[in-house]
Structure 1
Amino acid sequence: MTYQRILLKLSGEALMGQQQYGIDAERLMQYANEIKAVAANGVQVAVVIGGGNIFRGVQAAAFGLDRVQGDYMGMLATVINSMALQSALEKIDVSTRLLSGLTIQQVCEPYIRRRAVRHLEKGRVVIFGAGIGSPYFTTDSAASLRAIEIEADVVLKGTRVDGIYTADPEKDPNAVKFNEISFDEVIEKNLNVMDMTAFTLCKENNLPIIVFDMNTEGNLKRLLGGEPLGTLVNRSGQNER
């Protein structure tokens, strides 16, 4: 495998499948099987999953709710998705641990960096729930921060699009895909990869990001096996491996 330890960032919206909200069981099991396939090849896998299929903190203002309260509601939504992914993985005999940025001791372990690393070293899939436990930070930021803390080799952002384009390929048929691009070029071209806090964390810590299509079966294993899938973002804008 190309990378030894990865942080896989999944969107909550992707869990909806073709539904309007909630969790699609078929999509959930697809993700679980994708993760199992790479973990079986010795890759240490950590996962951060969003909560947009249930609730997003930025929706709070639309409902007239306090933003901080809304963000905490969003964190709880990520815990629900994390529990669902944990159950799906354990159903197919993958050992997991769910660590939370909020204290919910009945269902999650509290996040402790050394404990998370030890779980990874023992071959367990580690799922980070509740973001970083503070409002005003997205799950992208949680993914970047946790990846840096556990010394992951790469952040893999699984989306429904097969990489980074000059424009939204679902809206602009003339959009051109980047195979490799530097952090500076992403900022210069104002491309939407992650929120700026998350992206800056990766840039300052020289942590590469790969954006790829997670919804195509087998893509995660092919990517880690060395196939040039998605778009690589790093300091030089070139594949250095």
Structure 2
Amino acid sequence: MTSPAPILFILGAGPKVGAAVAKTFLNKGYRVASASRSLPDERKNDNELSLKLDLSKPEDVPAAFAKVKSAFGSAPSVVIHNAYSNHPGSPEDPLSNVKIDEYITDINVNSTSVLIAAKSAVEGFKTLPSATKKTFIFTGNALAVMALPPLLTFGMAKSAGAHLIMSAAKAYKGHGYRFYFGDERNADGSPCVKGVDGPAHAEAYLHLAENDKQEQWYYTFVKGSPDYVDFGAPKL
């Protein structure tokens, strides 16, 4: 009897990275659940599910995981958190226009919902066969290690998410669960402030999901290759 196809759950399935990741994993034989604020709750076919989910409300994340398991009959073995929230400030005086409600939204989307998604992912991983490859990926950026003052609260939230991934990669390595902070860079190592490439993320993420071992948790890569490129990112 053949094993059922693995399941990918992507939170924050936008038109660029999210759509490219979903298409790439579908073409590789995965069943794919995609969640975002703009999607309806809809079972498209045997291999595709869409869910409406606002990640500024982290308390809704566990219910979304339950819907994926109910629809496909199993917990996802690959979870990708790809959502973001950003409220830019002044380059010269970024603290002057920080608004607490916007900051809370940035923290909820870029950090708190990542924590709840990782917790839910691990709960699901524990129910899967030991031979199943289990991977959690958080789409990050260079703000975890570089300062761009106008993106102060965005960077604070992404940095918190990076610490979560670093800690989880260390804690769960012995369980066979892999955790990654994905950071696309330009070829010279500078941040991709504009022009983030969807297919490049999809290629790198599929490579990580199908790898047999934990690679560098802070996973910097460039368009054109899924392989890790060392730009001096932090290591365990």
TM-score, normalising length: structure 1: 0.40
Q: Which one scores higher on RCO, CA 8 angstroms, separation ≥ 6? A: 1
TM-score, normalising length: structure 2: 0.41
